[in-house]
A and B are shown apart, each in its own frame.
Chain A
Amino acid sequence: EAGVTQFPSHSVIEKGQTVTLRCDPISGHDNLYWYRRVMGKEIKFLLHFVKESKQDESGMPNNRFLAERTGGTYSTLKVQPAELEDSGVYFCASSQKMGGNGELFFGEGSRLTVL
């Protein structure tokens, strides 16, 4: 069974440009999360989808970030326009259902560098 896959693995863009990150969760996993790690700091929660609905987006930094989950399958995270402080590693994670054993399955992350 395929794990959580993220694309691209690394993206380098200039300030002001747009980037879209994609996450394909494990098949059948209703819950999808986005987390971010800024260089050397902790991994921080961004938002949580249950199927196609946003359950919690309290961690989204500002309105330059837009997350979608079409049809409850894959998810995209768009940053527009990108700023220098958006650089970091964006992790996607999925789990089967809420109230489960609390185990998240993480992708390898998408490293974003904004110049």
Chain B
Amino acid sequence: AQSVTQLGSHVSVSEGALVLLRCNYSSSVPPYLFWYVQYPNQGLQLLLKYTSAATLVKGINGFEAEFKKSETSFHLTKPSAHMSDAAEYFCAVSDRFGNEKLTFGTGTRLTIIP
């Protein structure tokens, strides 16, 4: 069975500051990992994905995430927060490439302080 833990249901950062959203996973097989974002009044949108190629994955809107097997982590970062980054972020895992039956974390709501 797979699981995802997102530490911090709410995170606040100042505009221009570093964004760090934490995700730890548990999987009995090599995982495929995703970050999705939900902006207000919109559906979830894929930010980035790890599929066993490069461990540092770059996504849209300046976000990136690093897969660390030894730490079972896939934290999401952005060097400088923008007001438009305010949204809810979801980390998810699947057990094989192309499998879209995802196991999600509980989500982290990011607030940007002007």
Residue positions of A touching B, CB distance < 8 A: 3-4, 31, 33, 35, 40-45, 48, 56, 91, 93, 95, 98-109
Contact = CB atoms under 8 A, between A and B. Distances in A.
Interface of B: 4, 9, 32, 34, 36, 38, 41-46, 49, 51, 90, 92, 94, 97-107
Given A91-B44, A105-B43, A42 B100 contact: no
Given A42-B104, A42-B106, A48-B101, A102 B51 contact: yes
Most chain A beta-carbon contacts within 10 A, residue among B4, B9, B46: B46
A42 B51 contact: no
Contacts of A42: 4, 103-107
B43 A100 contact: no
B100 A33 contact: yes
A99 to B, nearest CB: 4
Given A41-B106, A102-B49, A108 B100 contact: no
